[in-house]
Each structure stands twice: as structure tokens, then as C-alpha cells.
Amino acid sequence: MTSTVFRIGGDLEVRRLGFGAMHLPTEVGPARESALTVARRAVELGVTLIDTAHLYGGGANEELLAEALYPYPDGLVITTKVGVAPSGPRREWKVDGRPAVLRAQVEHALHRLRVERIELLQLHRIDPETPLADQLGTLRDLRVEGKVGRIGLSEVTVSELDQARQFVDVASVQNRYNLLDREHEPVLTACERAGIAFLPWRPVAAGTSGTKAEIAAVASEVGATPTQVALAWLLNRSPVMLPIPGTARVDHLEENLAAEGVDLTPVQRARLDRLHEPA
């Protein structure tokens, strides 16, 4: 039977099927009220891992989650990401891993989320223009100071993961991965070997008519939706897989979380596995 929980860093237990908050509207008005409802409903349905980032509205997404959920229930983990900042006269968002920027974004996140410690902090991207030792050294210092519990990475290669682990204990990796896009399969394998949580972003993706037909066929067989099949496949794919599907609608949220109850047979999983194989 597939486990429904995972311990990030070996000790931080979360439900494997989480929620990505990126799509929640933050502007004042009815859309924001709906976003607050979605976030609260996620927790009502047992979500214990919510993903956000400084990039999402320059911290507005973090503020939204705090407004919706603070004071937080026991066991809820809100993970955020730092390392992307507005730059230049046009204030365009760019990767920025300078120590002062990382430290400032963590301090802002602590304030916006209304917490004294971020249990899981992820580096949104590795900055190629800043020494890796300086980027991870800053996050390590913040952990020593008690402001960060565990350190993760996002969009990294196996080589970058190996290099990072020379400086810090890496608790999680957040890379793009889904049923039809498995470019980062080697990274997933490396995470499995090391017991590192793998948080696939964009966990559900549209495919060609042929792949859609096969996914739809499996969905019909198990009495589920194609989206639920895609998420169920991820949960079956690896014990370190922690999908974080995002939505701004309660009905989609409920559909996503119900994927945990979808049982795929070995034959059905094999059929889905083959969708990625070259023609």
C-alpha cells in the first residue's frame, strides 16, 4: 500500500499530497476572498504542506496564506522560496542569490508568514553569478540562527544537487516533473537514493491527443478524472514524491486531493509509464 505521508529531512512529517499556492489571486476584491476560501479548504481537507515563494507577488502570496490560516494548526508546513528578485530600471524578476538578498527575503518571509522559523526554505534557483558556497552558506547560517529549519533546492541537476550537498543537508528538491514530462528523472533517482523529498511542480500537464486518450481510458477504468490519474501515478511513482498541485478553485482542489484514493493496478501503471517512451 502506498504511504500517504513522508518525513522531510527525516523528521518533518507531512501528507504527501500538498497544495501549491502560486495560482491564488492576491489583489483586493472577490478573487482574493475566493483565494482565502481555497487555502482554508485545503487545510480542512487535511493538507499539511503548502508551497509558496517570495516571487509570487513579491511576498503577497505569503501574506495571503497568513491571512487565511494564521494562527496555523499543528502540523501545517508552509514552505517558501527565496533567490529571485526585481532588478534593473524595469524591476524585472531575475535570479539573485547574493547573501544580502537571500537574508532580506527570509526576514520578510518570517514577517509576512508571522512565524519565527521557516520549517522548509528552498532556494528558488541557483544564481550562476554568485558562488554556491555564498548562497548555501547564507541559508546554513540562517538555519544555525534558528530562522530556518531545513534547506531545499529548486530546478537543479544531479551535479548541482551533489555540489550543494557538500555545503548543506538538502531536505528537498522542487523540479518540474509529471506523467508526460520526465526530464528530471535522474534527479528524482538521486533524491530516492538519498531520501530527499521531491516536490514536482507542474505535476499535471496536458499531452497530445494520443496520450490524453490513454490517460482518459485509465481514468474511465478506475472511475476517476484524468487529473486524478496523473496525480495518482506520481504518488505511485516514488515514495519520496510530494506533488503540490495548485488551483484557485475549491472544486479543483477537492478533485486533486481525492487522487490519493485512486488505486492504479500494475498493468495500468505500466501503460502510463510507456507514455513517456519515445515512439
Between vectors from CA 161 to CA 155 and to CA 162, what angle results, nearest 5°?
A: 160
Catalytic residue among 56, 70, 72, 177: 56
C-alpha–C-alpha distance, residues 234 and 276, integer Å: 13
Q: Can you read off the three cell numbers belonging to residue 36?
A: 482565502
Element (H, E) at 13: strand 12-15
Is the sign of the CA dihedral 70, 72, 78, 83 positive or negative? Answer: positive
C-alpha–C-alpha distance, residues 231 and 248, integer Å: 17
Is 56 in the active site? Answer: yes
* Closest among 265, 276, 262 to 210, alpha carbons compared: 276
Q: Any idea which residue has 506520481 for its cell?
A: 234
C-alpha–C-alpha distance, residues 234 and 251, integer Å: 21
CA 232 to chain CA centroid, Å, is: 16
* Closest among 252, 248, 260 to 35, alpha carbons compared: 248
Catalytic residue set: 56
